[in-house]
Structure 1
Amino acid sequence: MKVARFHAPGDIRVEEAPEPVTGAGEIKIGVRNCSTCGTDVKISKHGHHHIRPPRVMGHEIAGQIAEVGQGVSGGWAVGDRVQVIAAIPCGTCVECRRGRMTVCPNQESMGYHYDGGFAEYMIVPAKVLAVDGLNRIPEGVGFAEASAAEPLACVLNGQELARVGAGDDVVIMGSGPIGCLHVRLARSRGAARVFLVDINAERLEMAAGLVHPDAVVHGQDVVEQVLKLTEGRGADVVITAAASGAAQEQALRMAARQGRVSFFGGLPKDDPIIRCDSNLVHYRELTIVGANGSSPAHNARALRLIAEGAVPVSDLITHRLPLAEVLEGIDIVSRGEAIKVTIEP
């Protein structure tokens, strides 16, 4: 079978590999869609400390069960359509037992610790099944849409932590696929107005044409523009859906009194420090929250949101490519020329 393996930064190869063998407690799936994201770009350029090459990449996975290993419970059967979590909590540590699976210190990941979905077939590890990390795809939801459940699950976690709710003015900084999902989820949670910000004018225009924010913000004076749009009070919630320290600093300045700021996009490890005006946080009683991935429960709920039509995702998939063209797909993401690129092995 064909796979896309990471060997080293700048060295991802589409190559032949033996079909994986299903062990006890495992499930083999035929991958139907594995979508790409900015993390794949970072891995392709810089690698990752959790990846021991060669490793099959890809973590936004949907497919069909091809084989059920000995001892697997849950009523799984060959032919079942399934979506796989990306982040795998251990399920047994103190944080997991307290329901904080997104910050499990023992977390592992598909495409990092285990071979991922840029392959014709892959193994769902027993650890995934142990934490209910394999989800049945609801009727009416396609494989490509189901593969978008994983990033939507992360967005859902972020908005829950930031308490996005009815009547809020919400600013989303970053108009990539995550930013687009944030716009749609905020609307489904009752936000009054949603504004979309980006420095990439072409991508902002493409995204706005799909998700229709109440206004787009672009240029050097984004804080002033947001203040003008909100009659001077600022936004109730600001979500930085971009790996930008400048965006995080701007987010604090455009937040309303008692506003919530979500540092959703992580910063580069060699440049993670920002300037924080502590007086803004103090006098405006701001709340700053992080957001780190998603839990298995978030994935299940994300699939339901897609199935119910609360958060449409099919039109956000702007490119569908075969596995042989996965490198081009990652490059398209890197250039910011797409909303969502999905690979169809």
Structure 2
Amino acid sequence: MKVLRFHAPGDVRLENVPEPEPGPGDVKIRVRNCSTCGTDVKISRFGHHHIVPPRVMGHEIAGEVVAVGAGVDRWTPGDRVQVIAAIPCGRCGECRRGRRTVCPNQESMGYHYDGGFAEYLVVPAKVLAVGGLHRIPDGLGYAEASVAEPLACALNGQNLARVGAGDDVVVIGSGPIGCLHVRLARARGAARVVLVELNRDRLDRAAALVAPDAAVCAADVDPVDAVLKLTDGRGADVVVTAAASGAAQEQAVQMAARQGRISLFGGLPKDQPVINLDANLVHYRELTIVGANGSSPDHNAEALRLIASGAVPVGDLITHRLPLDGALDAFDLVAAGEAIKVTIEP
């Protein structure tokens, strides 16, 4: 079968390898869609400390069950399924407390296990053990189901930031995650959603799809001033930094309203993880700053329901569909910001 494998930074190859077979407790699927994200681009260029090459990449996975291993009785060939990316152990203290997104033993598809840029994939028994294989609702396509994984991450972030009815929400970053945050905030009853982006072309492309109440180009105006003007000087109830930018995180604190919540959703580069924080703003405005680390199996299940119900549409965010042979082209599209969501159809 054909796969896309990481061998070393800058060395990612399309190769032919034998089809995998499921072991006890495993499920084998025919991959129908595996969508791409910025993390795939970073791995292809710089590698990742959890990846021991060669490794099949891809973690936003949807497909069809074709075989099951011994002891598997819930799944049968023909079942349409979506696969979690982050695999909690289910046994540690954090998992037992329901904090599965911060499991210290977490493993991941496409990192510790072969991922979805392949014609076939074995879903490890560990995924099934934590409820990480989900049935795709009837009427929902594989491509849309593959977007459940990034939406699950956004859902985790907005739960932690307590996004709710009547909130003024600012999303900084208009990539696919930023677009999902805009739509999810609307689904949760936000009063107004403002999208902030440094790149004018990317902002215009995203705003045309997700229609925020206001779109602010941070290259043209001071985004803090713009948000304060839009909110009559009050600031935003929630600010989500859906960009790997320390400047955006600093601006998020400055534009937050009293008792506002800031989600540092996008991680920073490993060599520049420190920002300047005005602690007095946090103190006197009673601000809450939260992180967001991936998603849990429950978030993935909820994300599928939100997509299937139409509460969070994702189909129009998929701007490019490419065969597995075009996976490296997909990475280039993502890196150049020329697409919202690119999905691979092996």
TM-score, scaled to structure 1: 0.99
Task: Write out per-residue CA displacement over residues 23-77 of structure 1, whole angstroms, 9 at most, x where no aligned residue.
Answer: 111000000000000100110111000000000000000000010111113x211
Residues in 1 aligned to 2:66 and 2:12: alpha-carbon distance in whole angstroms = 26
- The residue aligned with 1:28 is 28
- The residue aligned with 2:246 is 245
How do 1:102-251 residues align onto structure 2 when only pairs under 5 Å count? 102-218=101-217, 219=219, 220-251=221-252
Residues in 2 aligned to 1:90 and 1:328: alpha-carbon distance in whole angstroms = 35
Task: Write out per-residue CA displacement over residues 296-325 of structure 1, whole angstroms, 9 at most, x where no aligned residue.
Answer: 000000000001100000000000000001
Residues 1:65 and 2:65 are matched in the alignment = yes
Report deviation, 1:229: 0.5
- The residue aligned with 1:330 is 331
Residues in 2 aligned to 1:257 and 1:233: alpha-carbon distance in whole angstroms = 8
**Aligned AA (1:8):** A
**Aligned AA (1:287):** T
- The residue aligned with 1:339 is 340
**Aligned AA (1:248):** Q
- The residue aligned with 1:319 is 320
Report deviation, 1:337: 0.6
Task: Write out per-residue CA displacement over residues 226-285 of structure 1, whole angstroms, 9 at most, x where no aligned residue.
Answer: 100000010000000000000000000000000000000000111100000001101111
**Aligned AA (1:69):** G
Report deviation, 1:162: 0.2
**Aligned AA (2:223):** V
TM-score, scaled to structure 2: 0.99
Residues 1:4 and 2:4 are matched in the alignment = yes
> For 1:52, what is the secondary structure of its paired residue?
coil
- The residue aligned with 1:84 is 83
> For 2:329, what is the secondary structure of its paired residue?
helix
Identity of aligned residues (%): 77
- The residue aligned with 2:44 is 44
Residues in 1 aligned to 2:85 and 2:299: alpha-carbon distance in whole angstroms = 11
Residues in 2 aligned to 1:41 and 1:259: alpha-carbon distance in whole angstroms = 33
- Aligned pairs, how many? 344
Report deviation, 1:21: 1.4
Residues in 1 aligned to 2:44 and 2:275: alpha-carbon distance in whole angstroms = 26
Residues 1:274 and 2:259 are matched in the alignment = no
Residues in 1 aligned to 2:223 and 2:14: alpha-carbon distance in whole angstroms = 42
**Aligned AA (1:199):** L
Residues in 2 aligned to 1:277 and 1:184: alpha-carbon distance in whole angstroms = 30
> For 1:279, what is the secondary structure of its paired residue?
helix
**Aligned AA (1:98):** R
Report deviation, 1:200: 1.0
Residues in 1 aligned to 2:320 and 2:130: alpha-carbon distance in whole angstroms = 32
**Aligned AA (2:77):** V
Q: Which runs of 5+ in 2 are unaligned?
A: none
- The residue aligned with 1:254 is 255
Task: Write out per-residue CA displacement over residues 4-37 of structure 1, whole angstroms, 9 at most, x where no aligned residue.
Answer: 0000111100110100011111000000000000
> For 2:183, what is the secondary structure of its paired residue?
helix
> For 1:30, what is the secondary structure of its paired residue?
strand
> For 1:213, what is the secondary structure of its paired residue?
coil
Residues in 2 aligned to 1:260 and 1:24: alpha-carbon distance in whole angstroms = 45
Task: Write out per-residue CA displacement over residues 285-304 of structure 1, whole angstroms, 9 at most, x where no aligned residue.
Answer: 10000000000000000000
Residues 1:265 and 2:266 are matched in the alignment = yes
> For 2:212, what is the secondary structure of its paired residue?
coil
> For 1:243, what is the secondary structure of its paired residue?
coil
Pairwise CA RMSD: 0.5
- The residue aligned with 1:18 is 18
